[in-house]
């Protein structure tokens, strides 16, 4: 730190130089985040000094968090769900599995069974919580093989996991069957819908994946992905709100005396922003956004297939994957672990962006 500060304009101009090095969204085809909605940005600023970690100081902002949880619970077919706003999918997954572990203290060598598609946040979760991670293989179309999953469950299994909107292929596991396995074995069942939670409900014929499915205990769902909020707003929902109590620690000098969240100080800004978007758009608005993303996904698939790139699966969501090949310079596209080209057609990937990409593709054929 320098002894003397400098002028405001100097600071802004200094930082702008770095910001200019960041890539533009109109060339990012690999991200599950997007340009936040204008209202989320305004509201974020309005709530920038709020701390959900001390609710008694910010009772208004705390009510907004409750409203967000209630809206998302309703969307997940369980208005009575408990929840809190996390710092994204990683924290939600970790906290859900932490609860599962607390609920089964008799398990001496605890394990979880996750699909091969599981996001790397489960590796972190198992490392932190000292769990064995059992990886159930893929069945058809990069969805988990539920029979194999059931065979991997034993008396030390504390939770099984289904993914609704896999990171790499945008597929939806057979959550009905996974929920059934959980009920048969009397274990916790976590659904990672960090990405799909704000997409699947707005598809024309959504696959069952949420609390509508008996056996589903908890859901991760990230407004900072397809919810168009500012980063890092995530949400963890529980069918039985009282299970959050297993994580409580005493917080004697705060305005609440117990806390179940992972972080202490927690931003209210992104949370208020997330709720603002939900309130502004409603289900109708989200349906339109998802329909637009799906239309652009179809256009990309059609264009890529015309160049001879084979699709890895039929996209169910706004994720498209293809056999590997050359990509024009300047475009950010990712690869799956199996080596497929992976595109995420987020709202910032407009029809114009898709057409620009395809015309750059045409130029390198």
Query: Shortest approach of ligand 0PR to residue 306 CB, angstroms?
Result: 27
Measured distance CA(312)–CA(263) in Å, rounded: 39
Query: Shortest approach of ligand 0PR to residue 88 CB, angstroms?
Result: 3
Binding segment for ligand 0PR among 44-52, 84-92, 239-247, 310-318 (CB under 6 A)?
A: 84-92
- The DSSP letter of residue 250 is E
The DSSP code sequence of 121-139 is HHHHHHHHHT-EEEEEPB-
The residue to which tokens 């979760």 are assigned: 125
Query: Shortest approach of ligand 0PR to residue 335 CB, angstroms?
Result: 11
Measured distance CA(13)–CA(221) in Å, rounded: 36
Residue of 29, 32, 150, 272 that binds ligand 0PR (CB under 6 A): 32
- The DSSP letter of residue 200 is G
Binding positions for ligand 0PR, 302-321, rule CB under 6 A = none
Our finding on whether 234 is near ligand 0PR (CB under 6 A) is: yes
Residue 44, H or E segment: helix 38-46
Query: Shortest approach of ligand 0PR to residue 289 CB, angstroms?
Result: 17
Name which of 54 and 277 has its Cβ closer to ligand 0PR.
277
Nearest to 173 by CA among 192, 150, 195, 153: 192
Our finding on whether 89 is near ligand 0PR (CB under 6 A) is: yes
Our finding on whether 191 is near ligand 0PR (CB under 6 A) is: no
Q: How many other C-beta atoms can be found within 10 angstroms of the C-beta atom of residue 197?
A: 29
Tell me how many residues contact ligand 0PR (CB under 6 A).
Answer: 17
Residue of 90, 217, 297, 336 that binds ligand 0PR (CB under 6 A): 90
Our finding on whether 107 is near ligand 0PR (CB under 6 A) is: no
Name which of 55 and 223 has its Cβ closer to ligand 0PR.
223
CB 182 within 8 A of CB 326: no
Our finding on whether 27 is near ligand 0PR (CB under 6 A) is: no
282: left (phi over 0), alpha (psi -120 to 50) or beta: left
The residue to which tokens 């274990």 are assigned: 187
Nearest to 75 by CA among 209, 244, 261, 189: 209
Our finding on whether 340 is near ligand 0PR (CB under 6 A) is: no
The residue to which tokens 């991670």 are assigned: 133
Our finding on whether 33 is near ligand 0PR (CB under 6 A) is: yes
Name which of 32 and 272 has its Cβ closer to ligand 0PR.
32
The residue to which tokens 């009282």 are assigned: 242
**Maximum Cα–Cα distance for the chain, whole Å?**
66
Q: Helices 351-363 & 269-306, crossing angle to 10 degrees?
A: 40
Binding positions for ligand 0PR, 194-233, rule CB under 6 A = 194-195, 222
Residue of 54, 192, 210, 270 that binds ligand 0PR (CB under 6 A): 192
Binding mask 109-138 vs ligand 0PR (x if CB under 6 A, - otherwise)? ----------x-x-----------------
Beta-bridge partners for 115 = 136
Radius of gyration of the chain (CA): 21
Binding segment for ligand 0PR among 105-113, 141-149, 192-200, 318-326 (CB under 6 A)?
A: 192-200
Binding segment for ligand 0PR among 56-64, 162-170, 268-276, 295-303 (CB under 6 A)?
A: 162-170
Binding site for ligand 0PR (CB under 6 A): 31-33, 88-90, 93, 119, 121, 163, 165, 167, 192, 194-195, 222, 234
């Amino acid at each position: 730190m320098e002894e003397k500060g400098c002028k405001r304009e100097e600071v802004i101009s200094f930082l702008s130089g770095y910001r200019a090095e960041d890539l533009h969204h109109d060339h990012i085809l690999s991200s599950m985040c997007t340009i936040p909605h204008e209202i989320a940005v305004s509201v974020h600023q309005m709530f920038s000094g709020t701390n959900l970690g001390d609710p008694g100081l910010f009772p208004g902002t705390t009510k907004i968090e409750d409203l967000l949880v209630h809206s998302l619970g309703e969307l997940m077919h369980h208005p009575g769900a408990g929840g809190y706003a996390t710092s994204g999918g990683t924290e939600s997954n970790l906290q859900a599995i932490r609860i599962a572990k607390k609920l089964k203290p008799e398990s001496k060598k605890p394990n979880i069974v996750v699909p091969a598609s599981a996001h790397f946040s489960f590796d972190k979760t198992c490392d932190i919580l000292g769990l064995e991670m059992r990886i159930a293989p893929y069945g058809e179309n990069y969805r988990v093989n539920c029979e194999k999953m059931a065979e991997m469950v034993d008396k030390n299994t504390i939770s099984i996991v289904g993914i609704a909107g896999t990171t790499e292929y945008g597929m939806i596991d057979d959550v009905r069957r996974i929920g059934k396995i959980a009920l048969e074995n009397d274990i916790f069942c976590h659904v990672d819908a960090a990405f799909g939670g704000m997409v699947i409900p707005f598809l024309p014929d959504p696959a069952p994946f949420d609390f509508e499915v008996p056996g589903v205990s908890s859901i991760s769902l990230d407004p900072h992905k397809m919810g168009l909020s500012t980063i890092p707003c995530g949400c963890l929902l529980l069918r039985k709100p009282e299970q959050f109590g297993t994580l409580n620690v005493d917080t004697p000098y705060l305005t609440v005396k117990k806390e179940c969240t992972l972080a202490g100080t927690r931003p209210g800004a992104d949370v208020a922003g997330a709720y603002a978007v939900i309130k502004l758009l409603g289900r109708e608005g989200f349906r339109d956004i998802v329909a637009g993303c799906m239309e652009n996904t179809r256009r990309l698939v059609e264009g890529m297939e015309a160049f001879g790139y084979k699709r890895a699966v039929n996209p169910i969501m706004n994720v498209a994957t293809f056999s590997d090949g050359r990509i024009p310079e300047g475009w950010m596209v990712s690869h799956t672990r199996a080596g497929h080209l992976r595109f995420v057609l987020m709202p910032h990937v407009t029809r114009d962006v898709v057409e620009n990409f395809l015309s750059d593709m045409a130029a390198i054929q």
